[in-house]
Amino acid sequence: MSSLSHFDVIVIGSGPGGEGAAMGLTKAGFNVAIIEREKSVGGGCTHWGTIPSKALRHAVSRFTEFNNNPLFSKNNRSFDASFDDILTHAKTVIDKQTTLRQGFYDRNQCTLIFGAAQFTDANTVTVTLEDGRTEQYSADRFVIATGSRPYHPDTVDFNHQRIYDSDSILSLHHQPRHIIIYGAGVIGCEYASIFRGLGVKTDLINTREQLLSFLDKEISDALSYHFGNSGIVIRNGESFEKVEGTDDGVIVHLESGKKMRADCLLYANGRTGNTDTLNLEVTGLKADSRGQLTINSNYQTEINHIYAVGDVIGYPSLASAAYDQGRFVAKAIAEGESTQRLIEDIPTGIYTIPEISSVGKTEQELTAAKVPYEVGRASFKHLARAQISGKDIGSLKILFHRETKEILGIHCFGERAAEIIHIGQAIMEQPGKANTIDYFVNTTFNYPTMAEAYRVAALNGLNRLF
């Protein structure tokens, strides 16, 4: 094999994990190639997941805000948009992101190969190009960063024109009047917000007893309340027996005996690692039933020269964490081991309408662990900035230790929650005694701001101590 086809490291997949690894390795002086099976870089995060769904959400929340603003409604103006219209906005964002990311590879002289990779032996991959031709490349090491895709149960016909998953929903070109969303995890809840914001009748089937049960219960209850208030019908503790596609819609038969009918179905219940097409068997690797690989603290799989990062290794399955994992694996390859780890308290950002974000422990976890905590709360409706912007739904909650005043958890519900959370996270991560709730009382905030919620919540919490 010619030296032109041999690399120090080949990274498979150009999502956040692959990009982090490739950039770290090229900067460390390695000759790196990155293989991407789609026509442009960015992976599922840029093309079907994080970026398009957040762009859709932003567009929907802005025109909902416009329609609810009395300045405009008194003149009987209203703004109307279809799912197709707001997809155009999402596409412009995707194109900008793709161009930006392509530039990273070009500037860092990282070889980009577009095609589907498959191992032919433990040190060689065959890449099938778009025109059907194949090329072979070898490397001393490999990083698998192929991401995940929506889980498809065998009993659901995803080829039916009215049955979608969270990838194919971005190709929805008819305007449904009624949608059923099966699966009330993060993706299901985000799309429920988007469709309801567009005026689509929305039924959300939750296979569990509570929405987003990993959240603090008060926040989960607030989301349920606002969903119900906006007209989303939630059915908790249900699972499907049969999904029946019809000419003009879909009928979902539930195990409880109920039947539901709508114009279309979005199936959003679980994801699977993209490892099934890599021909891993020839390397000696085997993925588990969810398509995921097991790794050690250096992101090495059972085969020492093959590493894995991102959704293919499971938890936390976040774009932000995958970037970090990519950087860590680059360090592990360059220096023999990675001394860096993901932080213990990874923030959660859920882009429903309103937004949710949290970091640290929930009240339920602290109660179970018998930690003596206290709660400080701030309602957005009492903040001048929220009143000015008309974004007064929501609250900030700080959980802190009664004796040491150490911040134990922060939970936010409302507009810009995913931004607001980082102020508290920055203090919570401070070493020693610098991570106490006193900080928020002793500092001076800009006024009026949403950040000021921390001062209000801190005073509220400290007033509870005796």
Cβ neighbours for 31, distance < 8 A, ≥ 6 positions apart = 7, 8, 9, 111
Cβ neighbours for 339, distance < 8 A, ≥ 6 positions apart = 331
Tokens of 395: 């609250």
Residue 372: HSE in the Cβ half-sphere, 13 Å Cα cutoff = 7
**What's the pLDDT tens digit per position in 222-279?**
999 999 999 999 999 999 999 999 999 999 999 999 999 999 999 999 999 999 999 9
- Share the mean pLDDT of the chain: 94
289-307 in b/e burial notation, b at 16+ Cβ within 10 A? eebbbebeebbbbeeeebb
Residues at the binding site for NAD(+) are 183-190, 270
Q: Determine contact, residues 299/118, Cβ cutoff 8 Å.
A: no
Under the banding of pLDDT at 50, 70 and 90, the label for residue 73 is low
pLDDT at position 88, please?
85
**What's the pLDDT tens digit per position in 311-350?**
999 999 999 999 999 999 999 999 998 888 999 999 999 9
Q: Determine contact, residues 205/119, Cβ cutoff 8 Å.
A: no
**What's the pLDDT tens digit per position in 190-232?**
999 999 999 999 999 999 999 999 999 999 999 999 999 999 9
Q: Determine contact, residues 83/172, Cβ cutoff 8 Å.
A: yes
Q: Is 289 helix (H, G, I), strand (E, B) or coil?
A: coil
Q: Determine contact, residues 36/15, Cβ cutoff 8 Å.
A: no
pLDDT at position 79, please?
65
User: What's the whole-model pTM score?
Assistant: 0.94
Under the banding of pLDDT at 50, 70 and 90, the label for residue 170 is very high
Under the banding of pLDDT at 50, 70 and 90, the label for residue 62 is confident
Residues at the binding site for FAD are 36-45, 54, 146-148, 311
The DSSP secondary-structure symbol of 119 reads: E
pLDDT at position 439 over 90: yes
Instruction: Provide the Cα torsion 308, 311, 317, 321; round to 10°.
Output: 40
Cβ neighbours for 55, distance < 8 A, ≥ 6 positions apart = 86, 89, 90, 93, 94
The DSSP secondary-structure symbol of 168 reads: G
* Token pair 């603090």 in the structure block, residue: 216
List the one residue out of 230, 219, 232 whose CA is nearest residue 394.
219
Domains of the chain: 3-150+272-335 (3.50.50.60), 163-269 (3.50.50.60), 354-462 (3.30.390.30)
Interval 389-418 mean pLDDT: 96
CB atoms within 10 A of CB 97: 20
Percent of the chain at pLDDT above 90? 88
By DSSP bridging, strand 178-182 and strand 201-205 are: parallel
Residues at the binding site are 36-45, 54, 146-148, 183-190, 270, 311
Instruction: In the chain, count H helices and then E strands.
Output: 13, 22
